Structure 1
Amino acid sequence: MSARITPLRLEAFEQLPKHARRCVFWEVDPATLQRGDHLADPEFEKEAWLSMVMLEWGSCGQLAVPCEPEEADFTASASSGDDPCLGYAFYAPPRAVPRAGLFPTGPVSADAVLLTTVGVESGEDGDGLTRALMAAVVGDLVRRGVRALESYGRTPDAAELSDPQRVSPDLRPAVAVLGDCSVEQCVTDAEFLADVGFEVVAPHRYFPRMRLELEQGLGWKADVEAALERLLVSAELKQPVGAGASLRA
């Protein structure tokens, strides 16, 4: 299915898939919950986190929704608010992500934003859509002058951690389960990160910290600028005579 990518706005929260709305793996420090306690309302916690980050820092998510037949694949535009979600990506300054400091390969570099989650709904073009979401994330951060994007990758060996006896004390805070959230669902695959240009800056058997330099662009910046120029030209062509000047104001 063709898709368009749009920055996630708080009013589009209900468009997110159920797990994405309830996932607080990154957003809540498991140490704040006493043993045996459960979050009373994960969706409230997630929405409150999004609201806080958007207010203090700005856009922290990208949303993929179906596009109309006449729209180009993976173009950026506003969401109607009623479209089903095909995929999503979340990212934020590491200081706003409680679990960011619990991984053994931390901390995230001071000049980087942390990519926490990239998800695509079952049955969609997973590879193409995840790459389009990543392009949207990178495009947003390049425009905002961010130097790098980092993420904790999940290696195939991390599957061993489903056995509690294999989890060493230094890893327990990082892999603590919250509600429906777990390492398998909520930590980005390291192979995918490598495929889209991330490089390992802190090796680890389970959770390498990986980095994408945005100053160098790795081919992303030129593509983003070209796509924005095409969108601008297209928008001007649709404007009444004399209205295009406002687009460049």
Structure 2
Amino acid sequence: MSRRLVSITLDNLSDLPTRCRSCVFWELDPVSGERARDRGGAGIEKEAWVSDTLLEWGSCGQLVYVDGVPAGYVLYAPAAYVPRAVAFPTSPVSADAVLLMTGRIVADFADGGLGRMLVQGVARDVVRRGIRAIEAFGRTGSGAPRDADSADHSCLLPADYLLAVGFKTVRPHPRTPRLRLDVKTTVTWREDVEYAFERLLGSMQAPVLSR
């Protein structure tokens, strides 16, 4: 079984899980996102966001393939490139951090160590750029989601799993706390911590893509 980790580009964007290809929860502000969905142009907006971010900042995601089949991905970028990042009660993201936006592992490839590969790829990338930390808006099970996190609540990573892999809460909130991880600790994670991140992404499974 061969595994390959690559950066997300316009050439492989179509290899994201079907639901994620046209999801612009993070890439557009709430009003623009709703308008794009209503007009059926969300997929085009997603592609435009990836194109602009690649040109202006560089790699903003990682894709993992197993025997040539897309099996999972993560997206990340500075908050300045993520309009939704300002829409949470626990905003803003710290100036020295990138935002870990979302991630998925295709159901058939869960529990195979792919989450470890993905997060290590993110860590290596941001370390090379001199970035100090990764932050994320987690979702909790307490209370019904509303406001910024209502439409696509599943696009947020579970707060419990973020805590399990070493993130620390920097802005508590009953629904969408903001959490932070020092990048230097990421590149030396123990195997048990890496497995916890794999479980994190596995909990956000998407349907297997047809070939």
TM-score of the superposed pair, with normalisation by structure 2 = 0.82
CA shift, 1:132, in A, is 2.0
CA shift, 1:151, in A, is 0.4
CA shift, 1:54, in A, is 0.3
CA shift, 1:115, in A, is 0.5
Q: Structure 1: how far apart are the matches of 2:112 and 2:136?
A: 18
Q: Cα deviation per residue 1:22-52 (whole Å; 9 max; x = unaligned)?
A: 1111011122367897142211111110000
Q: Cα deviation per residue 1:196-223 (whole Å; 9 max; x = unaligned)?
A: 2211111111111000112xx1251589
1:6 aligned partner:
6
2:161 aligned partner:
192
Q: Structure 1: how far apart are the matches of 2:150 and 2:140?
A: 17
Q: Is the CA contact (8 Å cut-off) linking 2:120 and 2:186 kept in structure 1?
A: no
Cα gap change, 1:102 to 1:66, in 2 (>3 Å): same
1:99-138 equivalences in 2 (<5 Å): 99-126=84-111, 128-138=113-123
2:185 equivalent to 1:218? yes
Q: Is the CA contact (8 Å cut-off) linking 2:64 and 2:70 kept in structure 1?
A: yes
Q: Structure 2: how far apart are the matches of 1:127 and 1:155?
A: 26
TM-score of the superposed pair, with normalisation by structure 1 = 0.70
2:193 equivalent to 1:208? no
Number of residue-to-residue matches in the alignment: 190
1:75 aligned partner:
none
1:28 aligned partner:
28
Q: Structure 2: how far apart are the matches of 1:190 and 1:54?
A: 28
Cα gap change, 1:122 to 1:39, in 2 (>3 Å): farther
Match of 2:76, as an amino acid?
A: Y
Segments of structure 2 that go 5 or more residues without pairing to the other structure are 191-211
Partner-residue secondary structure (3-state), 1:131: helix
2:141 aligned partner:
156
Segments of structure 1 that go 5 or more residues without pairing to the other structure are 68-82, 162-166, 224-249
Q: Cα deviation per residue 1:119-146 (whole Å; 9 max; x = unaligned)?
A: 1111222473223211111111011111
**Cα RMSD between the aligned structures?**
2.3
1:236 aligned partner:
none
1:140 aligned partner:
125
1:175 aligned partner:
149
Q: Structure 2: how far apart are the matches of 1:138 and 1:63?
A: 14
2:38 aligned partner:
38
Percent identity between the two aligned chains:
43
Highest CA radius of gyration, 1 or 2? 1
Cα gap change, 1:54 to 1:218, in 2 (>3 Å): same
Q: Structure 2: how far apart are the matches of 1:44 and 1:36?
A: 9
Match of 1:208, as an amino acid?
A: P
Q: Is the CA contact (8 Å cut-off) linking 2:100 and 2:136 kept in structure 1?
A: yes
1:96 aligned partner:
81
Partner-residue secondary structure (3-state), 2:70: coil
Q: Structure 1: how far apart are the matches of 2:164 and 2:112?
A: 10
